[in-house]
Structure 1
Amino acid sequence: MEKRDHHYIPQFYLRNFTDPNPPPKFKPYVWVIDLKEKTLRKRSPKNIGFIKGFNDTRDEDGNVTTIVEDKLGEIENKAAIILKKLLNGKYISRSERLAFAKFVFSMRIRVPYFKDLFSLVLTKPEYTKQFSDLFYDAPPPSPILDMGGIIRTTNAASYVLLRMNWCLIKAPEGKVFVTSDNPMLVIDSNNTKAAFVGFNKPDVQIIFPLSPSVLLKGGWQPNFSLLRETNAEWVQKINSLLLLNAQRYVYMSTGEVEDLFS
């Protein structure tokens, strides 16, 4: 039971958001906004984005196991290699796209925000109906999120993401994307009040920052290029949405926050 620090935001992912210009002899660090404490601090990737025992599950005998942590680790190990290829502009195969889709989807449902939201909304009848409408005839789940179910859901939903159209969006020089403790944005402009936004909506958009300079965008609308450049205003708009989407922490490669958000 030595695997106790469970990173809901993987360290390999956070390392992409470290400050590129640290002082001499400083270890790599990420700038962290704590929205609750209203502070800005420098933190090593290994010291942020984790909760002790967060992914624990129990076996048939009631013993705590690390099976979910192990499975997430397998997803991360593959994703780390593929992310490097994406950021270097290299081709990825269909199997690699599927593996990365698993990672991207896991980043929606493995975080504390989703676990808390899941528990909250499924105790309210209006949200239970919304869940039933989204998942058709599936019975309403328990308000306590089964961490083991995260792996099963991730494996199934990744095929939906695989069928979507995706592109990489590059920030202009001097501008950077941020990320957070809830880094996956799922936007449905036709239903902004929904607690659960389904991927089957025709206008749904998925936004997921890969690094300060590159963001992954997906949806059902056709893309005419796999790599696009954007402008400073759009970067600020997305950063502001990521800020609103955060539960408590925003992670950045710079401590100069004035121009990051609109």
Structure 2
Amino acid sequence: MNDPKLHHYVPQFHLRRFTDATGRLWVWDRDRDRTFRTSPGRVAAEKQFYRLTQYEAYGHDPMTMEKQLSTLEGEVALITEQWLSWLRMMEPLDKVEISAADRQLVALYIAVQFLRTADTRDTLSAYAAIGDGEELTADEQRRLHTEVMWDEGLTNGLASRFGGACWVFARNETATPFVTSDNPIAFRTADNRRWLKAGILAPGVYIVFPLAPDIILYAYPGDPPFQKLSKFADCLSPVALDNSMVTNENSGQVFMASRFVLSNRSNFDAERAFALSIGTDLYADPVGHGK
């Protein structure tokens, strides 16, 4: 069996949840401001992205990381698919029964998803270039990135923090779907004023992660002001989201994206408008999602 050539840094099972009725994704290329339609297998991926070239010369399987990621994705796909089916039938404040093992796996998946993207590789490479005084080659970037991903202390530390957070789910019944991106784990400050790519472990920063066009997961740390949310842990939020709230959460995907924002519909007008505001104070006091 041939080794896979195209390695996805956002799993295909996640992308498939955001496809239209024909099984295709609508993609907005934020950098070039163009929209196109494609299959989940052809986006958020690069050739040999996780190939372990640093170990290949010693006779080790260079596809080990890609295979490990595939195993984790398969387990999490089954877990979250069950959650989605439950959440679509639940009443507000009903609780999702999450086993300790499932929580640990999904928390690890969230940590790995944050670390595995092209955006993280670019950030690591930029820091390394500052220290070394010159840009890294593509192979050096791959080696640095995969070594960071394989740092068990870092990965397990992030997974422990994310798994120990208060998870709250919200259901979107509006005409505006949640979108996702090629860097889908979004981080927001406690006052809802800013999305973050740095300082994600600062007190009060929480996770916003769209699981599907109609379901989103919030993971709140135990820091103030979120202690009061413990009564909603693992529950479907009682908040009825409106279009402005959904659009506001979608802005996080625009901010976090390396390049591509992905949806089951072709209209990206709201996302385009938000992109123009990045770096300004236009949305300095956004509408919250109603914690």
Length-normalised TM-score, structure 1: 0.82
SS of 1:244's partner is: helix
2:83 partner amino acid: L
Shift of 1:188: 3.0
Could you give the per-residue CA deviations for residues 183-227 of structure 1, whole angstroms, max 9, x where no partner exists? 11122358969753243x331111111000111111122324321
Percentage of matched positions with identical amino acids? 24
Could you give the per-residue CA deviations for residues 44-100 of structure 1, whole angstroms, max 9, x where no partner exists? 111111101000113273456011111111110111011101101252211001101
Aligned to 1:171: 172
2:267 partner amino acid: E
Distance in 2 separating the partners of 1:196 and 1:181: 17
Distance in 2 separating the partners of 1:193 and 1:30: 25
Aligned to 1:11: 12
Distance in 1 separating the partners of 2:270 and 2:64: 42
Query: CA contact under 8 A between 1:189 and 1:203: conserved in structure 2?
Result: yes
Could you give the per-residue CA deviations for residues 4-47 of structure 1, whole angstroms, max 9, x where no partner exists? 11011111110100113x3xxxxx10101112332211111111
Query: CA contact under 8 A between 1:166 and 1:218: conserved in structure 2?
Result: yes
Residue 53 (structure 2) pairs with residue 61 (structure 1): no
Distance in 1 separating the partners of 2:14 and 2:57: 35
Residue 261 (structure 2) pairs with residue 250 (structure 1): yes
Query: CA contact under 8 A between 1:85 and 1:92: conserved in structure 2?
Result: no
Distance in 1 separating the partners of 2:35 and 2:83: 30
Query: CA contact under 8 A between 2:174 and 2:242: conserved in structure 1?
Result: no
1:49 partner amino acid: A
CA 1:61–1:103 in 2, change beyond 3 Å: closer, same or farther? same
CA 1:248–1:193 in 2, change beyond 3 Å: closer, same or farther? closer
Distance in 2 separating the partners of 1:70 and 1:84: 21
Could you give the per-residue CA deviations for residues 214-261 of structure 1, whole angstroms, max 9, x where no partner exists? 111111223243212322211111112211221111110111333567
Q: Which runs of 5+ in 2 are unaligned?
A: 87-95, 132-139, 275-291
Report how many residues are paired: 239
Aligned to 2:119: 113
**Range 98-107 or range 187-196, more displaced:** 187-196
Q: After the TM superposition, which residues 78-97 of structure 1 pair with which residues of structure 2 at under 5 Å, given as runs?
A: 78-89=75-86, 91-97=97-103
Aligned to 1:204: 205
2:251 partner amino acid: S
Length-normalised TM-score, structure 2: 0.74
1:86 partner amino acid: W
CA 1:10–1:194 in 2, change beyond 3 Å: closer, same or farther? closer
Query: CA contact under 8 A between 1:186 and 1:197: conserved in structure 2?
Result: no
Query: CA contact under 8 A between 1:82 and 1:92: conserved in structure 2?
Result: no
Q: 1:238 aligns with which of 246, 249, 271?
A: 249
Distance in 1 separating the partners of 2:103 and 2:177: 25
CA 1:162–1:62 in 2, change beyond 3 Å: closer, same or farther? same
Query: CA contact under 8 A between 2:189 and 2:205: conserved in structure 1?
Result: yes
Name the Cα RMSD after superposition. Answer: 2.5
Aligned to 1:130: none
Distance in 2 separating the partners of 1:71 and 1:40: 33
Q: After the TM superposition, which residues 152-231 of structure 1 pair with which residues of structure 2 at under 5 Å, given as runs?
A: 152=152, 153-188=154-189, 196-199=198-201, 201-220=202-221, 221-222=226-227, 223=229, 224-225=231-232, 226-228=235-237, 229-231=240-242
Could you give the per-residue CA deviations for residues 138-188 of structure 1, whole angstroms, max 9, x where no partner exists? xxxx98634143142323321111111111111233121101011111223
Aligned to 1:136: none
Residue 108 (structure 2) pairs with residue 102 (structure 1): yes
Query: CA contact under 8 A between 2:3 and 2:63: conserved in structure 1?
Result: no
Q: Which runs of 5+ in 1 are unaligned?
A: 23-27, 126-141
Aligned to 1:29: 24
Query: CA contact under 8 A between 2:9 and 2:45: conserved in structure 1?
Result: yes
1:232 partner amino acid: N
Distance in 2 separating the partners of 1:238 and 1:198: 17
**Range 183-192 or range 88-97, more displaced:** 183-192
